[in-house]
Chains A and B, each alone.
Chain A
Amino acid sequence: MNVATSLLRVFVLPWLVIALLAAGCGDGKTSTTPSNTSTPTSENWSSVVAPGGQSSRSFTVNSSGTIAVTLTAAGATLGLGVGLPRVTGGGCRLGVSVNTAAGSSPQISTAADAGQYCVQVYDLGTLRDPVEFAMKIDHP
């Protein structure tokens, strides 16, 4: 064992160990942003709307974001809307609505706060027989 190795072992190595230990400390103060996101949810719904009738379904938006509704299948052009569920009884108080045929891209895409919502499909006064429909609802 030469002199240089001895010096390294006696003087340098302990301080190197101390430095490494000290560097390992101090990460407990890292600030983090509270997570406040919710997993995007996709719901599928299919039902029937009768002549002069309407059909609605409620869903919950867990955080602010975009509600996208796609009428994916329908035997006729129908009314499609998004709104708030009625406080009493069933049904929907619509805030946004369109008259639409089925398609592959959202017919309604609207910003929304967290809360309870509903979608509604309704006859525009053109149906003579009940019509089946299907839709996809994407929301936070």
Chain B
Amino acid sequence: MRFAALLPILAALCTACGDKTPTSPSSTTPSLATERFDDILNVRESKFYAFSVGSNGTTSINLASLSPIDRPGTIVATLEIGWGKTVKDDAGTVIGCTLSKVVQTTPALTAQITDTLVPASDYCANIADVDRVIGLRAPANFSMRITHP
């Protein structure tokens, strides 16, 4: 009799178990786009590339390659890369890049700059040969990767 009285409790405990319903992991990570900025940089020159950040998230900038114009291989030189806000004329054409952050770096296959760019807007990545001692001795091909939301 006493055991029978406990049957409802046992039933309740059993139904409380087994909550194994699979749930999808919550994900608020925005999709990322990777853009390439490939060009030639001359000695003491700077160039920029405009890109649009679509939502909040992490933007990474990577100077991945610096190579000679006329032969295969790599160049050992330190350049300045950075990001900033685009400058536009009255017609909305991008005419400049006002830098917010710069670092001096050699090429690598991992991002040298990782920042959260807010608000979502138009930004620019910049590369410049600024150092006469450790910078370029001749024009060079460069490749940058910009990964952003």
Contacts and interface: CB of A to CB of B under 8 A. Distances in A.
Real binding pair:
yes
Nearest to B143: A93
B6 A95 contact: no
Residue from B34, B60, B66, B67 having most chain A Cβ neighbours under 10 A: B67
A110 B17 contact: no
Given A10-B3, A64-B110, A95-B65, A18 B9 contact: yes
Given A21-B10, A25-B13, A79 B34 contact: no
Counting contact residues on chain B (CB < 8 A from A), the size range is 20 to 34
Contact of B74 (A17, A54, A86, A94): A94
Given A10-B2, A93-B141, A94-B65, A67 B109 contact: yes
A25 B16 contact: yes
B21 to A, nearest CB: 9
Interface in A15-37: 17-18, 21-22, 24-25, 28, 34
A87 B109 contact: no
A113 B110 CA distance: 5
A67 B36 CA distance: 21
Interface string A86-105: 11000001111100000000
A18 B141 contact: no
B89 interface: no
Nearest to B6: A14
B34 A93 contact: no
B96 to A, nearest CB: 24
Interface in A102-128: 110-113, 115, 117, 120, 122
Interface in B95-138: 107-111
Given A28-B20, A93-B64, 7 more contacts: A10-B3, A21-B14, A21-B17, A64-B110, A67-B109, A83-B67, A95-B107
A84 B65 contact: yes
Contacts of B141: 93
A140 interface: no
